[in-house]
Amino acid sequence: MPDLNQLPLFANLLVFGAAAAGVWIAGTRLSIYADEISDRRRIGKALMGLIFLAGATSLPEIVTTITAALGYRPPAPEAIVPLQSSSPMH
């Protein structure tokens, strides 16, 4: 992964814009898929949103915690705390 601190401001803004566009497109598609699944399975949209969308928004915290627990950054006890505090499943 490139060191973004070495890139000029304009390049960082382009990277940020591309990431923001990706999140926007993925979020829009995710809500469309959640609507379709709730219609087909006859599940309430609110329940589907809770299960599907809340679960998907927790994925970054789960990946970060697992990566940190595997030894790439802080020790495991310090890495588990963010998952416990940010997870909707606790």
Q: What is the pLDDT of residues 35-58, one digit of tens each?
A: 898 899 888 888 888 887 778 778
The DSSP-derived string for 20-76 is HHHHHHHHHHHHHHHHHHHHHHT--HHHHIIIIIHHHHTHHHHHHHHHIIIIISS-H
Same domain for 48 and 62?
no
pLDDT digits (tens, 9 = 90+) for 3-42: 778 889 999 999 999 999 998 998 889 888 888 988 998 8
Domain residue limits at 20: 7-53
Decide: 78 and 64 in contact? Cβ < 8 Å. no
Closest listed residue to residue 2, CA positions, set 34, 11, 64: 11
pLDDT, residue 79, reads 52
Same domain for 18 and 46?
yes
pTM comes to 0.57
The pLDDT of 52-79, averaged and rounded, is 71
Same domain for 47 and 82?
no
Backbone CA torsion sign across 78, 79, 85, 89: negative
Same domain for 46 and 68?
no
